[in-house]
Structure 1
Amino acid sequence: MNTLHHLRSAVRGQVWLPGEPGFDAARRPWNLAVEQQVDAVVEAVDGADVAALVRHARVTGLGIATQPNGHGATGRTSGTILLRTRRLNTLQVDPAARRAHVGAGVSSGQVQAAVAPHGLTGMPGSSPVVSVTGVALGGGLSWFSRAHGWVADNVTAFDVVDADGHERRVTAATAPDLFWALRGGGGSFAIVTALELALHPAPDLYGGRMLWSAEQAPAVLDAYRSVVAAAPDTLTVWLDLLHFPGSAPMVAIDVTHLGDPAEARDLLRPLDRLASPLSDSRQPMSVAELGSITAEPTDPSAGLSRAELVTTLDDPTAKTLLTEPIEPLLSVQLRHLRGALARPSDSPHGPLTEPFALYMFGIPTDPARAEAVTARQRGLAEALPTSGRKPFTFLNPSESVTDAFAPEVVQRLRDIKRRHDPHHVFRANVPVHG
């Protein structure tokens, strides 16, 4: 315990120790279904403070688990110091160079708000509250991945603290193996304090959600298949089967189009031939408003998820999706992939050639409900044509790097881990070590 109390003299940021006021709140993950045990929590004030913490950990033999706000937590933090990087919140935008320097504590929504006035966009996902750094370390799927690839493909540099406690800038030229690993291999190799992100032109954006009662699901799915079959890379369309507590089952289409609204409406014409929706929020919008499309929770909550990569959406697959109600799940989402995601990528994932990602989510209100949710997820996954691998960014606490990467990629990541962190200072949400 003396070693932990010495943390306060080692760092300038706030320290919470077990039993102290605020400790339980400080260690809490975003997903409240995950039990996260740690020996201490440190909220660093800057990169130099992170470096001081790493040097302290090296000397004392402690490990460090890094989380800006707890997204992606898997509970593999026992015996570690939990590092919060929320105060590393610098954000600098260079519109002429189409680059943003993004601190580790900066959220996707903050980046979008900063770049929107310049007619640019970053690589936002469905939630505006996740950290850009956390998403990029997991590869990252964006609304605009069909146009611009993995979120990690758009990172041009990392500012890190290495396992010796040194601040470094990592690029493809300065440290090619470490740069490769950080672009989608997770947080096992260094602590990222900031990254440089390529921005893209976004003078026009059209997006929103259409919502129908579940009786329309077969017709909506047919129209969805028609739209994605002809979709250019600028168009992203997701299908959602929804069943919220206290309401009837529904089906939704979520869409974004990087381009002229008139072109978007033409591409989406098959949807307009369907029965009148319960609601339709599609309209020209700012890239800063993307979080409104799916309206995901912006506060911590409990959930159980499972993702798969689906190899086809043929008639038998469509029938399997719709044969039974999704209950006790809240949502079953089908994301159209391909486009730039299927092209070469110098990242651990490499090309993502499967055409669809399936994401299933439910709430474990009690142990029986939790068991029912995981059983429904497992049954649906086993009934669908899947490739057997998953996006790293969608791994749940029961899964590992071997569920996301090919064996040779896992071995390369482990070799890089041994070279760059031989004493195992860094403890990622999903570790790469064997």
Structure 2
Amino acid sequence: MNALNPLHSLLRGRVWLPGDPGFDAARRPWNLAIEQPVAAVVEAADADDVAVLVRHARSAGLAIATQPNGHGATGRTDGTVLLRTGRLETLEVDPAARRARVGAGVPSGRVQAAAAPYALTGLPGSSPVVSVAGVALGGGLSWFGRAYGWVADSVTAFDIVDSEGRQRHVTAGTDPDLFWALRGGGGDFAVVTALELALHPAPRLYGGRMLWAAEHAPDVMDAYRQITADAPPELTVWLDLLHFPGADPVVAIDTTYLGAESEARDLLGLLDRLPVPLSDSRRSMPVSDVGGITAEPTDPGAGLSRGELLSDLGDTVVKTLLADPIAPLLSLQIRHLGGAFTRPSDSPHGPLTEPYALYLFGIPTDPATAEAVQDKQAALAGALPVSGRKPFTYLNPGESAADAFTPAVMDRLRAIKRRHDPNNLFRSNFPVHR
């Protein structure tokens, strides 16, 4: 008997098999440029459903690839059961303890909305629709990472289903090795059904985007370098070179400040001495609005990305970045790191000593454009002082976990994988198993 057939009767959640209506839509990842072949798709109703699926897969010799909604997909799913955890939507905020319990399917924006009434914040990234669990499993760069470190640094516990189908609560005390691996080593070790996240004080937040015509990019870049040279950890500033189809190229400054507007304006005073911007959305805002600053798409689409860590942003680097138009790229983003990212971190990534991150993005509208986008990304990366490693969440489908971690960390991750999932039941987007 086909081992997939019993799934309909075993599980309370939805199941799609090849040929079922909606199968192709259910298996599709967030990045529509990625083809994701799978043997079946399961949308778990709850953690009990996950446990039942894992026990069946274990006995039937199946493999499981887990995705809340498919961010970070690589297409390495052939023959697996794709487990969707988007319906694991538990969200409980304990304002006194400054802690939240967050289901695996909960997006960052929902955590921010739930924490805001208590003047608290999670560690949101640029998009409000990415799951907190997915970000934490990859370490996680946040708007407030300069103040509080990796997203994973704020995770205090995981609820998991292990490779034997047991539901477990994992902390640094109960299983320090597994806890360490889950805090940024990816989803290769267990199915995370929920996590506990420390929340941080955010009584005031100022932020937004300023936009100028591309001709002002040299002046904007100069101000950006001066501001970030001695910015306090509460201030985060990103620079974006943008060129959208049918529009003129522009340069943007995106910023957040965990503090009063008057303090932020003083710290960002150099920006007010630049030519009058095309737009300026900066304001005092609730932490629930931070996901709208960069106006990233909230619906799936096709894209090609490449991320790097920059060892400096000196004159030679700036000259290279601004020498030519970014086309066929849509965006070139520089994120200021430093601050708490440089502190010790009990996670696979460890501290981030590189001062800036670079993210390059384009849309593969056709094969020729896709090739041109990748060529442009490779040319820029090859001409810049990149460190040779990159954040796990910046990896693209052509890369591996070894591009994010040191050889010693990879050895430790593989040992934990062998101990907790010796039969390689769990297949993550970027597996450590070899």
Report the TM-score range of the alignment, normalised by the length of the smaller protein: over 0.9
Deviation of the 1:367 alpha carbon: 0.3
Amino acid at match of 2:103: G
SS of corresponding position for 1:294: coil
Amino acid at match of 1:215: E
Amino acid at match of 1:431: P
SS of corresponding position for 2:3: helix
Q: What is the CA–CA distance in structure 1 between the aligned matches of 2:13 and 2:401, rounded to whole Å?
A: 32
- The answer to whether structure 1 residue 106 and structure 2 residue 76 are counterparts is no
Q: What is the CA–CA distance in structure 1 between the aligned matches of 2:401 and 2:32, rounded to whole Å?
A: 23
Amino acid at match of 1:403: D
Partner of 1:372: 372
SS of corresponding position for 1:102: strand
Amino acid at match of 1:272: D
SS of corresponding position for 1:398: coil
Partner of 2:233: 233
Q: What is the CA–CA distance in structure 1 between the aligned matches of 2:393 and 2:302, rounded to whole Å?
A: 18
SS of corresponding position for 1:32: coil
Q: What is the CA–CA distance in structure 2 between the aligned matches of 1:12 and 1:220, rounded to whole Å?
A: 55
Amino acid at match of 1:116: A
Partner of 2:120: 120
Q: What is the CA–CA distance in structure 1 between the aligned matches of 2:87 and 2:400, rounded to whole Å?
A: 29
**After superposition, where does 1:327-342 map in structure 2 within 5 Å?**
327-342=327-342
SS of corresponding position for 1:296: coil
Partner of 2:173: 173
Deviation of the 1:106 alpha carbon: 0.3
Deviation of the 1:2 alpha carbon: 2.1
Instruction: Give the aligned length.
Output: 434
Amino acid at match of 1:350: G
Deviation of the 1:290 alpha carbon: 0.8
Deviation beyond 4 Å, 4+ runs, structure 1? none
Q: What is the CA–CA distance in structure 1 between the aligned matches of 2:233 and 2:313, rounded to whole Å?
A: 18
SS of corresponding position for 2:4: helix
Tell me the alpha carbon deviations over residues 82-124 of structure 1, each in whole angstroms, 9 at most, x when there is no partner.
0000110010000000000000000000000000011000000
Partner of 2:312: 312
SS of corresponding position for 2:240: strand
Mark the runs of 5 or more structure 2 residues left unpaired by the alignment: none
Aligned-residue Cα RMSD (Å) equals 0.6
Q: What is the CA–CA distance in structure 2 between the aligned matches of 1:419 and 1:167, rounded to whole Å?
A: 17
Q: What is the CA–CA distance in structure 2 between the aligned matches of 1:421 and 1:9, rounded to whole Å?
A: 26
Partner of 1:421: 421
Partner of 1:224: 224
Partner of 1:393: 393
Mark the runs of 5 or more structure 1 residues left unpaired by the alignment: none
Partner of 2:160: 160
**After superposition, where does 1:65-214 map in structure 2 within 5 Å?**
65-214=65-214
- The answer to whether structure 1 residue 343 and structure 2 residue 336 are counterparts is no
Partner of 2:54: 54
Q: What is the CA–CA distance in structure 2 between the aligned matches of 1:354 and 1:308, rounded to whole Å?
A: 10
Amino acid at match of 2:86: R
Partner of 2:5: 5
Q: What is the CA–CA distance in structure 2 between the aligned matches of 1:210 and 1:12, rounded to whole Å?
A: 48
Amino acid at match of 1:150: W
Q: What is the CA–CA distance in structure 2 between the aligned matches of 1:302 and 1:264, rounded to whole Å?
A: 36
Q: What is the CA–CA distance in structure 1 between the aligned matches of 2:258 and 2:110, rounded to whole Å?
A: 19
Amino acid at match of 1:308: E
Amino acid at match of 2:388: G
Tell me the alpha carbon deviations over residues 19-68 of structure 1, each in whole angstroms, 9 at most, x when there is no partner.
11010110010000000000000011111110000000000000000000
Amino acid at match of 1:126: S
Tell me the alpha carbon deviations over residues 288-311 of structure 1, each in whole angstroms, 9 at most, x when there is no partner.
001111000000000000000000
SS of corresponding position for 1:18: coil
Q: What is the CA–CA distance in structure 2 between the aligned matches of 1:129 and 1:292, rounded to whole Å?
A: 11
SS of corresponding position for 1:116: helix
SS of corresponding position for 2:34: coil
Q: What is the CA–CA distance in structure 1 between the aligned matches of 2:163 and 2:257, rounded to whole Å?
A: 42
Amino acid at match of 1:374: Q
Deviation of the 1:7 alpha carbon: 0.9
Amino acid at match of 2:138: G
Amino acid at match of 1:231: A
SS of corresponding position for 1:4: coil
Partner of 2:296: 296
**After superposition, where does 1:25-36 map in structure 2 within 5 Å?**
25-36=25-36
**After superposition, where does 1:228-307 map in structure 2 within 5 Å?**
228-307=228-307
Q: What is the CA–CA distance in structure 1 between the aligned matches of 2:182 and 2:405, rounded to whole Å?
A: 14
Q: What is the CA–CA distance in structure 2 between the aligned matches of 1:192 and 1:356, rounded to whole Å?
A: 30
Q: What is the CA–CA distance in structure 2 between the aligned matches of 1:413 and 1:178, rounded to whole Å?
A: 9
SS of corresponding position for 1:288: helix
Amino acid at match of 1:134: G
Q: What is the CA–CA distance in structure 1 between the aligned matches of 2:132 and 2:330, rounded to whole Å?
A: 26
Partner of 1:361: 361
Q: What is the CA–CA distance in structure 1 between the aligned matches of 2:3 and 2:171, rounded to whole Å?
A: 35
Q: What is the CA–CA distance in structure 2 between the aligned matches of 1:155 and 1:195, rounded to whole Å?
A: 7
Tell me the alpha carbon deviations over residues 121-140 of structure 1, each in whole angstroms, 9 at most, x when there is no partner.
00000000000000000000
Q: What is the CA–CA distance in structure 1 between the aligned matches of 2:382 and 2:3, rounded to whole Å?
A: 48
Partner of 2:384: 384
SS of corresponding position for 2:238: strand
Q: What is the CA–CA distance in structure 2 between the aligned matches of 1:406 and 1:328, rounded to whole Å?
A: 32
Amino acid at match of 2:400: S
SS of corresponding position for 1:332: strand
Deviation of the 1:193 alpha carbon: 0.1
Q: What is the CA–CA distance in structure 1 between the aligned matches of 2:401 and 2:124, rounded to whole Å?
A: 24
Q: What is the CA–CA distance in structure 1 between the aligned matches of 2:338 and 2:433, rounded to whole Å?
A: 30
Q: TM-score, normalised by structure 1?
A: 1.00
Q: What is the CA–CA distance in structure 1 between the aligned matches of 2:113 and 2:380, rounded to whole Å?
A: 38
SS of corresponding position for 2:418: helix
